[in-house]
Amino acid sequence: MATLASPVADSLDALGLPDFSTETYKDAYSRINAIVIEGEQEAHDNYLAIGTLIPDQADELARLARMELKHLKGFTACANNLGVTADMPFAQDFFAPLRNNFQQALSEGRVVTCLLIQSILIEAFAISAYHIYIPVADPFARKITEGVVKDEYTHLNYGQQWLKAHLDEIREEFEQANRQNLPLVRSMLEQVSGDAAVLQMDKEDLMADFLSSYQEALMDIGFSNREIAKMAAAALVG
């Protein structure tokens, strides 16, 4: 007999929260948490550095940088709370390719590339990752992370506003910087996808959410839909 099947999968895989006390969890957390701490440290350094390229914005950038240090302390407390030591050498290696690109651009005075790397790409990724982390975080980390997310929006917004105001001059450099740096996100994500899975953060969710945030930032800056689709695709097939 023919049945009228629902086309949609019936079951919802309802996972509970992970067990935060297992060695497996702590081991994975030591690397993910280190990445977050290192990310906040580099964000701090990067905003101060960008201030040297746009001196009239130096005060505002210094304010953003201070906020990043506050986040760093919060995430350090999260590790302490779980009795985990962050694997900082791992995190420093992890960020090396992006850091090198940033430093290169900084030394050549390419402010558009610096802003793309720090205030669009890294911030968009951080916001997406934090959002995906919040529902599966331990209660202590959840609270800290929720507070951080609110701040990070102002950072994403800062870069967007500057780039928006200079759209006509930045196009070429922006596209090139996108081509050079966006594929790095995918390889960085691949590196930690196993650890992220232990924390119940799905690789596909992370990438999709990141790309949505990234696209949204590009939309706000004023790129056309076609340019946006093309640029975002660099993360998927680069």
Partner 1 sequence: MFGLIGHSTSLADARAKARNLGYDEYAEGDLDMWCSAPPQLLERVTVTSPTGKRIEGAYIDSVFVPEMLRRFKTAKRKVLKAMELAQKSGIDITALGGFTSIIFEDMNLLKEERVSAVSLDWQRFTTGNTHTAWVICQQVVTNALKLGIDLATAKVAVVGASGDIGSAVCRWLQRQGVGELLLVARRPQPLIDLQHSLGEGRILSLEEALPEANVVVWVASLPESLQIDTATLIKPCLMIDGGYPKNLDTKAAAEGVHVLKGGIVEFWQDIGWQMMEVAEMAKPQRQMFACFAEAMLLDFEERHTNFSWGRNNITLEAMDWIGAASLRHGYRSLALDEQQVEEQQVDEPAPVFVDPSADQTQALASA
Closest distance between partner 1 and the C-beta of residue 212, in Å?
5
Name the 3-class secondary structure at 123: helix
The conformation of residue 14, written as its DSSP 8-state character, comes to: -
Closest distance between partner 1 and the C-beta of residue 48, in Å?
27
1 binding partner 1? (CB under 8 A): yes
Closest distance between partner 1 and the C-beta of residue 8, in Å?
4
Q: Are 101 and 117 in contact (CB under 8 A)?
A: yes
Closest distance between partner 1 and the C-beta of residue 216, in Å?
6
Which residues have C-beta within 8 Å of that of residue 140, sequence separation ≥ 6? 77, 78, 81
| Residue among 90 and 222 whose Cβ is closer to partner 1 | 222
Tokens of 112: 């558009």
32, 209, 217, 221: which one contacts partner 1 (CB under 8 A)? 209
8 binding partner 1? (CB under 8 A): yes
Q: What separation in angstroms does the CA of 148 have from each of 51, 83, 231?
A: 22, 21, 27
60 binding partner 1? (CB under 8 A): no
> Which of the residues 101 through 140 are near partner 1 (CB under 8 A)?
127-128, 131, 135
Length of the chain: 238
212 binding partner 1? (CB under 8 A): yes
Alpha-carbon distance of 51 to 80, in angstroms, equals 32
153, 167, 194, 197: which one contacts partner 1 (CB under 8 A)? 153
CA-based nearest residue to 84, from 173, 163, 198: 198
Q: Are 141 and 81 in contact (CB under 8 A)?
A: yes
Closest distance between partner 1 and the C-beta of residue 189, in Å?
10
Alpha-carbon distance of 9 to 76, in angstroms, equals 41
229 binding partner 1? (CB under 8 A): yes
Contact residues for partner 1 (CB under 8 A)?
Answer: 1-9, 11-13, 127-128, 131, 135, 149, 153, 202, 204-205, 207-209, 211-213, 215-216, 219, 224-230, 232-234, 236-237
